[in-house]
Amino acid sequence: MTYANALAALADPTRRTVFERLRGGAKPVGEIANGLTVSRPAVSQHLKVLKEARLVTEYRDGTRRFYAIDTQGLEAVRKYLDGFWDEALTRFKAFAESEEPRRGKRKGKSK
């Protein structure tokens, strides 16, 4: 249930902001925290939750830790949401196809 943990992690607005800041690539905590209304240790805690939810990966470069989006974890969320999208499209298609004969009859009556 990776997607459930990921969705729960992203429910927090600050955590979503932290996650969104990684959209452009890997960053160290200080750069992620820059301009946020929460402290750097709080950002580290948010990153920890995102990492546990498999939305973020961490690696070291010398003494600095960098964080990046975990594409595998994000893929699990995408697949989960795609299921809803696929189902919605299938239902829309079925509805549109069931309306087609009705529309044809209405046009015939109004002429």
Give 87-102 pLDDT, tens digit per residue. 888 888 888 888 766 6
Q: Domains, the chain, ranges and CATH?
A: 2-72 (1.10.10.10)
Please give the structure tokens belonging to residue 76.
């699990």
Instruction: Return per-residue pLDDT of the chain as tens, 111 residues.
Output: 678 899 999 999 999 999 999 999 999 999 999 999 999 999 999 999 999 999 999 999 999 999 999 999 999 899 988 888 888 888 888 888 887 666 655 555 554
| CA nearest to 19, candidates 68, 52, 81 | 68
**Cα R_g (the chain), whole angstroms:** 22
| CA nearest to 16, candidates 63, 80, 77 | 77
| CA nearest to 43, candidates 56, 24, 25, 59 | 56
pTM, two decimals, is 0.77
d(CA 24, CA 44): 19
